[in-house]
Amino acid sequence: MDCKKVFLMRAKRKLMQKSMAIRDIISRLALPLLVTASLVGCATPTLRGTGDLGVVIERATGSVQILDTTHRSSLGKVNGLGDLSHASVSYSRDGRYAFVFGRDGGLSKVDLLTQSITHRVIQAGNSIGGAISQDGKLIAVANYEPGGVRIFSVDDLTPIADIPAVGANGKRSKVVGLVDAPGRRFVFSLYDAGEIWVADMHKPQQPILHKFTDVGKEPYDGMITSDGHFYAAGLFGEDGVALLDLWNLQAGVKRTLVQVGRHGEKLPVYKMPHLEGWATTGDLIVLPGVGQHEIILADQNTWQEVARIPVAGQPVFAIARPDNRQVWINFAFPDNETVQVLDLPSRSIVKTLKPGKAVLHLEFTPRGDQVWVSARDDNRIDIYDPETFEHIGRLPADKPSGIFFTSRANRTGL
């Protein structure tokens, strides 16, 4: 805690400036001053609400910046988070702590108020993301190596349960697409085994597993609709989506949207779209076409394709503005300087923006008054008014990727 030391040094210096008599007793004062310093903690942590905070991942430096959307500012930086070349974040239910999932298997608990890491474990060799349980008590991490899900206490990252992902083929599989679901459940996909598992966490130490086998080849990511009703896994080894109705597990996994896939790899896939970026907008689901220069609109009830919209490149994220009227889309290389805005009522692209080099992610404030865009190769975040497209802010950041606001704490599947 550097700031504590600074505080102590400053206090000592002030005393030194007094008389020699005081200097004599500095050693005796050290204890109460230390007590004071620990009461104060860092001078920085102001009493404040956490509803307007967030973090941005700085992938090259293994750090996060803490963001304030009210003042469109950065409050500080937390280092020491390991390899963040593919990282994501979940939030504690009080919005104070960010759980950062690193590529190197690191799981870190970051306190946004004191701007420090309170706990950190290397829980696997290679991990891909995580989720927090509906009640806010458990953190689950999806691992590639060793393949499986590990579950920890949010309080101190104590291990609670370990779920090795051994498929029906007897082999351990990489785990992808891990999400939380209502009813104290986690849902995830086994990439190598082609399976979807539902873990019932009513007894956290003894998860009950519902396994769905033969769901399709190579599920590469998964998402849950915002109401927690459907879990969908995108298939890489074949065209289509594996769909599970979480209100009716007995019905099993169905194959749908077989048009969504690569169609024999007409185009090389530069970057797999993130399914978390599938926008669900009431009655429509908005999917990035894999390897296609198009966005697919499907009916959220029937999961049948409704329309295709041509766009500027291979879409990566398709993220709905919180009012569900427009969807903002970013793209894979070589079109990753572009962001397009799809208007759903007219089904047309109403705006093309060039925010910067290598746009990796975008995040809306929860009521949609701002959208924050990370431009990795320009080392900055740009902020826009989603209604007018006006540029309303810019912050420097070191190779920024994902932006995550604390409002995610209130939502299922984020």
268 vs 390, which CB is nearer to its own copies? 390
Among the listed residues 63, 69, 88, 401, the single contact to its own copies using CB under 8 A: 69
Site for its own copies in 1-20 (CB under 8 A): 11, 14-15, 18-19
Site for its own copies in 27-46 (CB under 8 A): 28-29, 32, 36, 39-41, 43, 45
Cα–Cα distance between 285 and 287 in angstroms, integer?
Answer: 6
From start to end of 5-134, where are the E strands?
53-58, 63-68, 73-78, 88-91, 97-101, 106-111, 116-122, 126-132
Number of amino acids touching its own copies (CB under 8 A) = 70
Q: Kindly state the smallest distance separating residue 144's Cβ from its own copies, in Å.
A: 27
Q: Is 136 in the site for its own copies (CB under 8 A)?
A: yes
Three-state DSSP class for 340?
strand
Determine the interface stretch with its own copies among 117-125, 162-170, 182-190, 287-295 (rule: CB under 8 A): 182-190
Q: Kindly state the smallest distance separating residue 32's Cβ from its own copies, in Å.
A: 5
Strands 315-320 and 326-331: antiparallel
Among the listed residues 4, 50, 72, 338, the single contact to its own copies using CB under 8 A: 50
Three-state DSSP class for 35?
helix
Determine the interface stretch with its own copies among 156-164, 203-211, 278-286, 376-384 (rule: CB under 8 A): 278-286
Q: Kindly state the smallest distance separating residue 28's Cβ from its own copies, in Å.
A: 6
265 vs 283, which CB is nearer to its own copies? 283
Cα–Cα distance between 128 and 166 in angstroms, integer?
Answer: 17
Determine the interface stretch with its own copies among 191-199, 333-341, 361-369, 394-402 (rule: CB under 8 A): 361-369
Per the CB < 8 A criterion, the answer to whether 381 and 394 are in contact is yes
50 vs 85, which CB is nearer to its own copies? 50
Site for its own copies in 283-322 (CB under 8 A): 283, 300-301, 322
Q: Annotate each residue in 115-134 with x if it binds its own copies (CB under 8 A) or - if it does not, as one string.
A: -------------------x
Closest CA to 189 of 165, 160, 206: 165
Determine the interface stretch with its own copies among 166-174, 258-266, 334-342, 364-372 (rule: CB under 8 A): 364-372
Among the listed residues 8, 51, 293, 358, the single contact to its own copies using CB under 8 A: 51
Transcribe 134-196 into DSSP letters. Answer: TTS-EEEEEEEETTEEEEEETTT--EEEEEE-B-TTSSB--EEEEEEETTTEEEEEETTTTEE
Cα–Cα distance between 228 and 223 in angstroms, integer?
Answer: 10
Per the CB < 8 A criterion, the answer to whether 176 and 221 are in contact is yes
Q: Is 410 in the site for its own copies (CB under 8 A)?
A: yes
Strands 241-245 and 230-235: antiparallel
Cα–Cα distance between 169 and 193 in angstroms, integer?
Answer: 7
Three-state DSSP class for 407?
helix
Per-residue H/E/C for 202-245: CCCCCCEEEEECCCCCCEEEEEECCCCCEEEEEECCCCCEEEEE
Among the listed residues 48, 354, 357, 391, the single contact to its own copies using CB under 8 A: 48
Q: For residue 236, which amino acid is it?
A: F
Q: Which residues sit at the interface with its own copies, rule CB under 8 A?
A: 11, 14-15, 18-19, 21-22, 24-25, 28-29, 32, 36, 39-41, 43, 45, 47-53, 69-70, 91-97, 112-114, 134-136, 182-184, 227-229, 247-248, 281-283, 300-301, 322-325, 345, 365-369, 387, 406-407, 409-412
